[in-house]
Amino acid sequence: MAIPIGARVFKTGLGVTIALVICQIFNIVPAAFAAITVVVNMLPSVNKALSNAWEQIRIHIVGVILATFLGLFQWNNPLGIGLAVIFIIMIANQLGWEGGITPGIVSIIFILDAPPEQFLMHAGTRSLSIFIGLGVALITNRVLAPPRYKDSLFEKLPTLFLDSATYFIQSMRVFVQATYMKNYEKTDIQKLETRIEEIIEIHEHARDEFLPGENERLVEKLIEICQGFVERGQNIEEMTYQRVKRRLSPDSPLLFEEEISPTFQHLLDVLLLGDEHLETLTKMICDNIYKPHSSTISKADNLEYWAQFDEAMDAWQREVSGVFYLRAMMEVAVVATEMRWAARRLKRIYNLGSLKKA
């Protein structure tokens, strides 16, 4: 069974080795403190390493100063260490250094655990060992950068969004235009589903690479709507298949060659207008996905359009009855519901802004 070695695993092992070698060359003891400092300061991504570097340095400096101060006054005992840990946590929380609490605590414990005899000398060598480990961790984080998953995510997600939206809109369009189809084959969406699974995995790896102010919420919503487009598009395709099958059935009250009623055709034409509106929204998002924009779209439904749809549905309902037409009525209602869902989601996504920071 193969055991995968990730970037962080490799970086940690290499960093520990380098720190121990440096301590050995310069005869700095205890070298184990440098190795442990490397481990607690190793970060999974280069972006996180860069954004946290100064925080890590500051928290170590504060921890070393605090521990040395307490040690000089003979507080290098369990009570003193406990108080120092409380102080470093309070300081880190107050200054917004939550990510550096653990390294700060480690520094305090290492220094205050030094022997009381010649405390200052021991504290100095231990501090040096700690900063060697910190330096090795920061340099290793920077030099051995893992794959830039965020770049791959930003490159692939817009295309996936466009393709999944196109599939969904096309599934509705085919439903509307399936009146005189003699057979219907559903679209093979295996590749689209595979791409969605891939983008979800890339997003999981890229989470640590997002910097404050970057639009990760837009990424999450784009992935979510891609999944929704595929799932709902499949449902619409199944209804199209059943519609074609029903029209060709000997039990159909309307011969295949006969034209459908003008009221039902009008209802389908209204649905087609909704498809065009979704296409417009999709294009707006694609055109602005990398362009910071402050303009927003009203999240409210298009009342005029839905009033037109309700009117067309009522007119057709007054003309027909029976199970055959009831199924058709339910299918049209489902397609309209999916269209309303898509319009609302697309508007919200547009209003979230762009992938690039303003």
> Are residue 22 and residue 74 in the same domain, yes or no?
yes
Residue that finishes a domain, picked among 119, 143, 167 = 143
In a domain, 1, yes or no: no
Give the CA count within 13 Å in the CB-facing half-sphere of 335.
31
Q: How many residues are given for the chain? A: 358
In a domain, 357, yes or no: no
Q: Are 12 and 121 in contact (CB under 8 A)?
A: no
> Are residue 199 and residue 340 in the same domain, yes or no?
yes
> Are residue 173 and residue 318 in the same domain, yes or no?
yes
> Are residue 211 and residue 131 in the same domain, yes or no?
no
> Are residue 160 and residue 72 in the same domain, yes or no?
no
Domain of residue 13: give its range.
Answer: 7-143
Name the residue with higher pLDDT: 241 or 96.
241
In a domain, 358, yes or no: no
Average pLDDT, the chain: 84
> Are residue 131 and residue 237 in the same domain, yes or no?
no
Count of the separate structural domains present in the chain: 2
pLDDT digits (tens, 9 = 90+) for 36-84: 888 887 765 545 555 566 777 888 888 888 888 888 888 778 888 898 8
**How far apart are alpha carbons 240 and 234 in whole angstroms?**
10
In the predicted structure, residue 302 carries a pLDDT above the cut 60: yes
pTM of the entire structure? 0.68
Residue that finishes a domain, picked among 77, 110, 143 = 143
Q: Are 69 and 120 in contact (CB under 8 A)?
A: no
In the predicted structure, residue 281 carries a pLDDT above the cut 70: yes
